[in-house]
Amino acid sequence: MNESIYILNILLPVLYLTVLIVYGYDFLNEKRFLYNSKRLFLFLTLLIHLIFLLLRTVEFDHPPITTKFEIFSVLAFAIGFSYFVLELLTDVRGTGAFIILFSLIFQTVSSFFIEHNYIVPEVLRNRLLGLHVISALLGYSGITISAVYGLLFIQLYRNLKENKFGIIFNRLPSLEVLEKLSFKSAVIGFVLLTIAITIGIIWLPQAFPNFSYFDPKLVSTAFVWIIYGAGISAKFLTNWYGKKVIIFSLGGFVAAMVSLVLTTFLSSTFHSFY
Amino acid sequence: MNIFGITINHRTAPIELREALYLSKNETIDLINKLKSDLFTEGFVLSTCNRTEVFGFPQKNLLDYNQLIKILLDFKKVNGLTADNFEKFFSCGAVRHIFSVASGIDSMITGDSQVLAQTKEAFEISEDLNFAGTIMRRIFDFAVKAGKRAIKETAIGEGAVTVSYAAVQVIEKIFSSLEKKSALVIGAGETGEIAAANLKDKGVGKLAISNRTLSKAEALAEKVHGEIVPFQFLKEHIHNFDIILSATSAEGLILNFDDIQKMMRMRKNTPVVLMDIAVPRDIDPEVKKIENVFYHDMDSLKIIVDKNIQKRKNEIPQVKKIIMEELINFFSWYNTLEIVPAIKSLREFFEEIRIDELNKIKHKICEEDFIKLEDMTRRMMGRLLHNPTIKLRELAETGTNIQEVATRSAILKELFNLNNFDNNNNIQNGKS
């Protein structure tokens, strides 16, 4: 089984790259034969990724959420899967390349650095941890997708204002659709992040004796949560449209990524389990 | 194949002449009756405001373009129209041209979506008037097939190629659905009318018309089932509309920067599309600087139209490939027409010999042996003729060179003296 895990670990970035190329090629060339088949490529990649995650769970006797590179792989899957569901629900097919790019980045980093022999500390075998991590990862997928649609909205908005009727104009859905997709993804991401934070606040003080509410990870996550909360409230309360809401989404995403990088690689935090 | 015909189109004559030559349905019917009596055994007439096509098979083996042009010009007298204004086509070139017309690559606006329906209609009139024989019907079938394939397999008909449609294309890039949107058309002239009709076709939720002359606004509003916004109160109502399309012939601006800024405040900055398709412009172009105001004028819409026309032109080689495939299919069928009578004669010739020889021994053998012999000779003839029949059919179906088929057919007839055999048979049949 170990051998299968190694092979799939190498194969996954290649598969995501293939999906990215197929989606990118279709976006640039609008080839009819890829219109339906690209979705099949993505489905097969996600299926193989799921098998990989299940094999790891069985082989190493823990869900793959206990090291940062395991988490990166789950995040790559969550982003790809969220996009797949979104594409099925909305039938907006022209934006896949921009989102799959993030799956490719996270999976490539994961595949390079993931460890295959790791002893899991007892504290990480808690069920609440599973819920905490999964809701956080899905939340991050939501805000990533929201940011991508936000960027596409701004690009199309500019193109329309400047009378540029090129590939962006031809291939992207309408501004209204992009705005809705960005906002809905942000709302889903925000709700899931709220769940993750709530579980974290309940479970972390019990699990870690050195827990602190002023930990950099907690502070930065709260900051991200406040940005999204403010943007979503403003949209609901004042009926904001377009760029104003999108700026909150993009700002929140940048803050989330900076927080992820800083707390994972640079600062010292109790929130580092590995 | 001796089909021939003439066409007048955007390459050969200016719009005034093309329009003057346009034949209504009744005129087309009258012309077909004239052609049937004087020139053609079968054919068709296609006439639109942009082109007139007359094609057919001559009654005698004489391809007289001048007579055809004379019949047409005598029928519809148009000053200034001469023989030089017509393109002439013959045989394979004629069929190829008909296919090109049906697939839209011969139209002034490449990929014109209406021409296929117009071609179908022209074919139907021919059918109704018994002006379409076996060959003409086949040409119709293959022409329509080529036209349908061009639309389905290429992008020849995609993208807006008129300013009105380009405006709708831009609107659809801003709003996901027009059903919940309201639109105001300022100006009830021809452009305004087309724009209003396009918006209505696209299912816009609410449509209103405003025009300096109220009666014109009322007439257009009635046509498109729209409301009326009195022109003098225009500025007080514009904030109620998500789409404003202006197409008046006013000399100065109708809506200035301050009007739009005020409108946006009243709309709480929700997006609005301003389509200024008037020349000179009706709306101050500076308004495009206001957030969530999507302002487009003729120049910007023309960019879309030009791009789409170029895109369609890029599809022409692909459509020509389809036309060539359908030409091959058509001529594969057509070539079998030459060979089928030859095969039939050959088989009849052998069958007659067989029956003749069987008759000679019919009374010399018992009935049981005769049945066996008859069965055996039938099988023998079948085996002997199987290969030549198949080879001849293959030659006809795969080759496009009708001359080759005719030569083989002639050799066959000469070798077995089938011409005399056919003549004798015809005489006997005539007697009986």
pLDDT band at A207 (very low <50, low <70, confident <90, very high): confident
**pLDDT for position A157:** 94
> Chain A within 8 Å of B306 (Cβ-Cβ)?
no
For residue A5, the number of C-alpha atoms closer than 13 Å in the C-beta half-sphere is 17
**pLDDT for position B426:** 61
| A137 and A202 assigned to the same domain | yes
Contacts of A160 in chain B (CB under 8 A): 170, 173-174, 294
What mean pLDDT is predicted for residues B68-86?
Answer: 89
> ipTM more than 0.85?
no
Of B176, B268, B288, Cβ closest to residue A161: B288
- Sequence-distant (6+) residues with CB within 8 A of B65 are B4, B6, B83, B86, B88
Collapsed DSSP state (helix, strand, coil) of residue A271: coil
The CA distance from A144 to A253, in Å, is 7
**pLDDT for position B221:** 93
How much of chain A is in helix, strand and coil states, percent to nearest 5?
80, 0, 20
Query: Which of B100-109, B159-168, B175-184, B230-239 is least confident?
Result: B159-168
pLDDT band at B428 (very low <50, low <70, confident <90, very high): low
| A261 and A152 assigned to the same domain | yes
Is the pLDDT higher at A62 or at B209?
Answer: B209
What mean pLDDT is predicted for residues B44-53?
Answer: 91
**In chain B, domain spans:** 4-156, 163-299, 321-431
The yes-or-no verdict on residue B145 having pLDDT over 50 is: yes
pLDDT band at A118 (very low <50, low <70, confident <90, very high): low
The yes-or-no verdict on residue B62 having pLDDT over 80 is: no
pLDDT band at B432 (very low <50, low <70, confident <90, very high): very low
**pLDDT for position A28:** 85
The CA distance from B365 to A248, in Å, is 106
Specify the length of chain B in residues.
432
The yes-or-no verdict on residue A66 having pLDDT over 90 is: no
Q: Which domain holds residue A16?
A: 1-120
Query: Which of A210-219, B4-13, B271-280 is least confident?
Result: A210-219
Which of B2, B16, B19, B49 is an active site residue?
Answer: B49
CA nearest neighbour of B249 among B212, B297, B199, B198: B212
Query: CATH code for B4-156?
Result: 3.30.460.30
What mean pLDDT is predicted for residues B130-147?
Answer: 92
**pLDDT for position A37:** 83
Domain B163-299, what architecture? 3-Layer(aba) Sandwich (3.40)
| A141 and A260 assigned to the same domain | yes
**pLDDT for position B397:** 67
**pLDDT for position B398:** 65
Domain end, chosen from A92, A120, A148, is at A120
**Nearest 5 degrees, angle CA A35-CA A40-CA A46?**
135
The CA distance from B95 to B35, in Å, is 19
Are the beta carbons of A121 and A171 closer than 8 angstroms? no
What mean pLDDT is predicted for residues A241-252?
Answer: 85
Tens digit of each residue's pLDDT (9 = 90 or more) over B374-409? 999 999 999 998 988 888 777 766 655 666 777 778
Touching A: B residues 156-185, CB under 8 Å: 170, 172-176
Is the pLDDT higher at A237 or at A150?
Answer: A150
| A66 and A165 assigned to the same domain | no
Range picked from A149-153, A264-268, B389-393 for highest mean pLDDT: A149-153
Query: Which of A124-138, B54-68, B126-140, B213-227 is least confident?
Result: A124-138
What mean pLDDT is predicted for residues B247-256?
Answer: 90
DSSP single-letter state for residue A162: T
| A78 and A176 assigned to the same domain | no
Of A160, A177, A243, Cβ closest to residue B294: A160
| A60 and A140 assigned to the same domain | no
Domain end, chosen from A59, A87, A120, is at A120
Of A176, A180, A239, Cβ closest to residue B174: A176
* pLDDT, averaged across chain B: 88
| A140 and A266 assigned to the same domain | yes
Query: Which of A118-132, A200-214, B197-211 is least confident?
Result: A118-132
Contact state of A242 with B175 under an 8 Å Cβ cutoff: no
Tens digit of each residue's pLDDT (9 = 90 or more) over A12-60? 999 999 999 999 988 888 666 777 788 899 999 999 999 999 998 888 8
Contacts of B156 in chain A (CB under 8 A): none
Contact state of A177 with B288 under an 8 Å Cβ cutoff: no
**pLDDT for position A101:** 93
Q: Strands of B206-210's sheet, edge to edge? A: B227-228, B206-210, B182-186, B243-246, B272-276, B293-297
Tens digit of each residue's pLDDT (9 = 90 or more) over B153-173? 998 988 888 888 888 889 999
- Sequence-distant (6+) residues with CB within 8 A of B32 are B43, B45, B125, B126, B129, B131
Q: Does the annotation count B366 as an active-site position? A: no
| CA–centroid distance for A224 within its chain | 15
| A113 and A200 assigned to the same domain | no
The yes-or-no verdict on residue B84 having pLDDT over 80 is: yes
| A11 and A44 assigned to the same domain | yes
**pLDDT for position B429:** 57
Report the domain count for chain A: 2
Contacts of B288 in chain A (CB under 8 A): 161
